[in-house]
Every structure is written in structure tokens, then in C-alpha cells.
Amino acid sequence: MTTTPNAPSAPVPYDPPAQQAYPQDVWPTSARPGPHGDMTVGGVSLSEAAGRFGTPLYLLDEGEVRDRCRTYRAAFPPEEADVVYAAKAFLSRAVVRWIREEGLGLDVCSAGELLLAVGAGFPADRIVLHGNAKSPEDLGTAVRLGVGRIVLDSTSEIVRLAALVPHGTRRPVMIRAVPGISAGGHAAVRTGTDDQKFGLSLMDGSAQHAIDRVLGRPELELVGLHCHIGSQITSITPYVAALRRMVGLLARTRDKHGVVLPELDMGGGHGIAYRAGEPALDIPALASRLRAELASGCARSMLPVPRLTVEPGRAVIGPAGIAVYRVLAVKRTGTRIFVAVDGGMSDNPRPALYGVRYAPRLVGRASTAPGLLTTVVGRHCEAGDILAEAVELPGDVHPGDLLAVPAAGAYHLSMASGYNLVGRPPVVAVSDGTARLLVRRESLDDLRRRDIGA
């Protein structure tokens, strides 16, 4: 089990008026103070939403999602690049519609994500299939539905995919290359080096060997290269370094085979802020640098500039989400104050997995009580079920209060579990003062019905 880190030796006061500010680096731009200490997002009161839908509750600001899609489309204009939303961050039928209407493509990692997307009306030819260990169902579904690109992650996938392609046809594929660049907010999400499970190495020749094999398969059409160097990256520098190495591989492929690959996918991993003042990746600056480096690198290698693709997920959906919890208990143990809520690692495993810490706020009532540093914890049977370490809350926080957690749209419900059989929370979209249910709460009856043994 995960152990609880040491906290400060004594409670520390805070400035109550600071609780009324909603920094837009972590809260949706629509966040506003409401009466009596409440807060509105998308014109919807958080306390009223909690009363209507119950807690834990996830709110998703539709306008924020669409605005972030448009930021990407402006930074990577469609005449030069493709923007592909990484569905693993969070996917629902409504999100599929928003992404389609905003002109983005879709990146999926399983037959389940693929079928949900196509069933919701997303064009299969605008979908990219990823995964380091694609199942026969994943590959078969992708071939049957005609996805736009299949990213090959290993040499074994080359043979398995080729065997599924109908005679006389070809499937467009990309090779996922590992450029040897270390980047990312935690060791568990650094995917650009050789010491992890994804892709084929540039350094040991595996990527070039895979290219050789794909070019020898008439069932497969190699249309480009792909790389993904990590997640929660807030600096442009590693992307530029990776791009330079990928251009080098494009040039070596041209020199060895006389084949000029027309596409280059630089993946995603674009970082956001989880607490006020934390850095976030500057998307327009990233786009400017990548396009400039790609043009200059291709000029030096006498290559035509390939079409660029990026795959944001968290940076589109993360800041649009807010989790709302209800306080169940307040406990003082030694020098620490624990505030326990009705959710935790079953609906948000990221703190336990990556040590991420959030910045919850009291909503639904005003307080002028002196503030204290608290540890906000979940309800689950793990010492590591901690949502926020050393977070300021009013000293009179008590059971029944509501806490709102910003930057909660990505990798929460998509990674949720059935731990302790508490059921997964609902997702509610908010926009123009209206709240509508997107994903209903998982009930105890749902959990019972899955258990069919005797």
C-alpha cells in the first residue's frame, strides 16, 4: 500500500478572500463566483448541480472544450496540419460530437473506443488506432471499419495486420518510432526512451527494420512516422529535439528505399496546470516552433515537408472538467487535518499513480473562518488515496460541505475502477446555464448484475 507523506508540523492560516478568485490557468474561463460562496461554470451553479445529480459528480464545460479545440485549429491550420483528439483522456458520445463539429480527428486505443466513436457518427477515415499490444479484435475492427491510420508499435503487428487485410486492398499505416528523448511529468508517462514498452527504437535500428518490413508488404501502405515522447510536458524543447530525429529517419528512409513519406505525427502529451501558477504548454508557441523546425530540417535534408499531426487529449478536455465531492468526515490526527470526501481513487487514480496533487475549494457556502492546511483524502481503503496534500480550506470545514476540484476532465473517469464497489460518478455537460447528463452514475444494481456467478 502507498504510505502517506509527512505534512507540515502545524496548521497554517490562509487568506479567505483568496478563495473567491478562480485562476483561469486551472478553472474554465466561464467560472464565476456565485451567491453565498457558490460558484458557477457554464452558467450552472455547482451546488445546485450537486443537489440535482448527487456527488461525486463530474462537470464538463462544453464551451471550454470547443474553445480549446479552436485554439489548436488556429495554431495548426488545416491546410498544414491535422489535430487529432486523444480519446483515452475522456470519451463519450457527446465528446465525439463536439470533436467532430470542431474539425478534429480522433485517436483511439481499442475496439471499444473505436466502436463508440463510429457509432456516434465519427468518420472512420479520420480515426487513428494506437496501442502497444493491439488485440485481434482491435485490429480486425479497425480493418473492417476502415480507420484512417493504424500505428504499428511492434514487428509482430506487421504480420498480424497484413493477414487481416482483404486481398487486393491496402491499409495505410505508420511506424511508431522511439526518438530517445526523455520528457514528461512522471517516470510512468515518459514514453520517448528505450526503457519503456512503446514503439520501436531509433537508436538500435528497430524502427528502420520495421520500415523495411512494412515496405515489403503489399497489403500495407506506409504513409508516415509517428512518435509520442511522454505526457504532461510543459516545455517545447523536447518536442523540437524529437522532431529533428524523426526528420533524420525520414531522410534515411528516402536514402535507403527511395520512398518519401508524406506524414509525420508528433503525438501529444501537452501539459496543463493543476494548481494555480503551475506551467502549461504554450500551444501557439509549440505550433510555431514545430512548423519552423520541420521546414528547416526538411530543407537541409532536401525533403518535401510532410503533413504534420499532433494528438492533444488532456490539453483539450482536462481544464474543462470539474469534480465535485461532498465532505464525509474531518479528522485531526497528530499535526494533520484530514478532510475525507465521498470519492477518491476509484474515480481519480492519478494521485495514487503519479503523485498528482489538486487544489480543491469549498463551494456552496461562504466562510470567514481562519484557514488551515489540510489533506483531502478519498474514501477508499488505501493510505495513498489522497486527492490533495497541504491544501488550504476554511477551518470550519465540516461534513456535508462541497469541494470542487479543477482540471478534472482528463484521465479521471477514463481510468476509473470499481474499487470497494462504490460505483463510478456521472458526467454532466454544462453550457449557457443548462446542465445535461452525458454519462449516468453507475448504480449498485449495475455492479450486482455483472456478478453472475453462484
Strands 220-226 and 371-377: unpaired
Q: Which grid cell is 117?
A: 466513436
Amino acid at 352: A
> 185 pLDDT band (50/70/90 cuts)?
low
381 catalytic per annotation: yes
* pLDDT for the residue numbered 434: 98
Domains of the chain: 16-61+319-450 (2.40.37.10), 76-312 (3.20.20.10)
Q: Is 194 exposed, middle or buried (0-12, 13-18, 19+ CB in 10 A)?
A: middle
φ, ψ at 113 (rounded to 5°): -65, -40
* pLDDT for the residue numbered 98: 98
pTM above 0.95, yes or no: no
Segment 441-448 shows an average pLDDT of 93
Point out the catalytic residue in the list 109, 227, 298, 381: 381
Among the listed ranges 85-94, 151-160, 164-173, 191-200, which one has the minimum average pLDDT value?
A: 191-200
* pLDDT for the residue numbered 83: 98
| Strand spans (E) along 378-453 | 386-394, 402-405, 427-431, 434-439
Tens digit of pLDDT for each residue in 283-337?
999 999 999 999 999 999 999 999 999 999 999 999 999 999 999 999 998 889 9
* pLDDT for the residue numbered 188: 55
CA angle, 366 as apex, 365 and 372 as ends, to 5°? 105
Segment 69-95 shows an average pLDDT of 97
Segment 252-274 shows an average pLDDT of 96
* pLDDT for the residue numbered 280: 95
Residue 20 has pLDDT above 80, yes or no: no
* pLDDT for the residue numbered 352: 86
